[in-house]
Amino acid sequence: EDQVTQSPEALRLQEGESSSLNCSYTVSGLRGLFWYRQDPGKGPEFLFTLYSAGEEKEKERLKATLTKKESFLHITAPKPEDSATYLCAFFITGDSGYALNFGKGTSLLVTP
């Protein structure tokens, strides 16, 4: 069964303290792994798409990497405005189409 698991569930960092969020998956035929950021009361905001093992993408203080079994979201020198829930997802194939299968997310709090 296709599954995605995110860890840790919650993470508290001090400003400037770098860390990584993990997204492990079991899926046959990965078509793309997606990272989103979600602020409270808002819809998920797209960050990255990774398609193949070894691929990396960067945006400001964020860097996403992908292996055959997991993806990491590295946060370098985070700032309080990076506080949010980070979601990873991949497409699963249903009887007649595709749907994004989301992990439960990692809630990140960055304190000054």
Summarize as ranges the residues that interact with other proteins (CB under 8 A). Answer: 31-32, 34, 36, 41-46, 49, 51, 87, 89, 91, 93-105
Q: Give the residue with the Cβ less far from other proteins, 13 or 50.
A: 50
Residue 77 C-beta: closest distance to other proteins, Å = 27
**67 vs 85: CA distance, rounded Å:** 22
Following DSSP, what letter does each residue of 31-76 receive, concatenated? --EEEEEE-TTS--EEEEEE-STT-EEEETTEEEEE-SSEEEEEE-
By beta-carbon proximity to other proteins, the closer residue of 76 and 107 is 107
Work out how close the CB of 80 gets to other proteins at its nearest, in angstroms, rounded to a whole number: 22
CA angle 49, 108, 16 (to 5 degrees): 95
The minimum distance between CB 18 and other proteins, in angstroms, equals: 26
Smallest gap, in angstroms, from Cβ of residue 47 to other proteins? 10
Beta strands 70-75 and 62-66 are antiparallel
Give the residue with the Cβ less far from other proteins, 72 or 91: 91
